[in-house]
Amino acid sequence: MIQLCSNDDPPVSFTVPRKAVELSKTIKTMLEDLEGFDMEQTPIPLPNVDAPTLELIVKWVEQHQDDPPPVEKPRVEDDDSDDSDADDDQEPEVVIPEWDKKFLPTDDEQKNQLFKLLNAANYLEIKPLLDIGCKYVADKISGQTVEWVRDYLNMENDYTPEEEAKLKEEIAWAEGL
């Protein structure tokens, strides 16, 4: 069992099976680097994660600890390495499982919690959780107006009216807006 500590004062700690915690690439790498030390006795502090978020993370990794590991493929993100048969085509479609649908903090007042969870999943490198979280947000945005997206994400319009008019012209090709 591994202990994880939140960034609260005082820290809140959670005890998680090693197998589950290794879904986080960040922690897995750390544990591998520290092979030989008795990690069961050493709590791991997570400076970017607060207690409610860590609780969610722990819940998720425990639920998914027995999932088959995702097939790792070398990712080619930069544009210049132009291998035409890159894996993007075979990239599996992300489907949010039923359990995860209930698990994700999806109520509007829990929006902050959702973003904190995404941030933590990113920091801890839990790719499947990151995928379903981002997919959820993307699904939420799809089909909405610009104003709706601004409102949902609590964002300010920082364009001048002139800039906005120009942008509208620029995007006229994508019909149905």
Q: In this structure, what DSSP letter does residue 95 have? A: -
Instruction: Name, in order, each residue with C-beta under 8 angstroms of 62's C-beta and a sequence gap of 6 or more.
Output: 16, 17, 20
* Distance in angstroms (rounded) separating the CA atoms of residues 111 and 163: 30
Of 35, 98, 158, 162, which lies in the binding site for another protein, with binding defined by CB under 8 A? Answer: 158
SS (H, E, C) 56-121: HHHHHHHHHCCCCCCCCCCCCCCCCCCCCCCHHHHCCCCCCCHHHHHHCCCCHHHHHHHHHHHHHH
Q: How many CB atoms lie within 10 A of CB 47?
A: 9
Strand duo 2-5 + 44-45: pairing:
parallel
Binding residues for another protein restricted to 26-85, rule: CB under 8 A:
48, 50, 77-79, 82, 84-85
- Stretch touching another protein by CB under 8 A, among 34-42, 60-68, 98-106, 138-146: 138-146
Residue 166: what residue type? K
Nearer to another protein among residue 67 and residue 88 (C-beta)? 88
Binding residues for another protein restricted to 115-134, rule: CB under 8 A:
115-116, 118-119, 122, 130-131, 134
Of 38, 89, 98, 169, which lies in the binding site for another protein, with binding defined by CB under 8 A? Answer: 89
Of 86, 110, 125, 128, which lies in the binding site for another protein, with binding defined by CB under 8 A? Answer: 86
Nearer to another protein among residue 41 and residue 160 (C-beta)? 160
Number of residues that bind another protein (CB under 8 A): 49
Binding site for another protein (CB under 8 A): 7, 48, 50, 77-79, 82, 84-86, 88-89, 94, 112, 115-116, 118-119, 122, 130-131, 134-135, 137-139, 141-146, 149-150, 153-159, 164, 167-168, 171, 173-174, 176-177
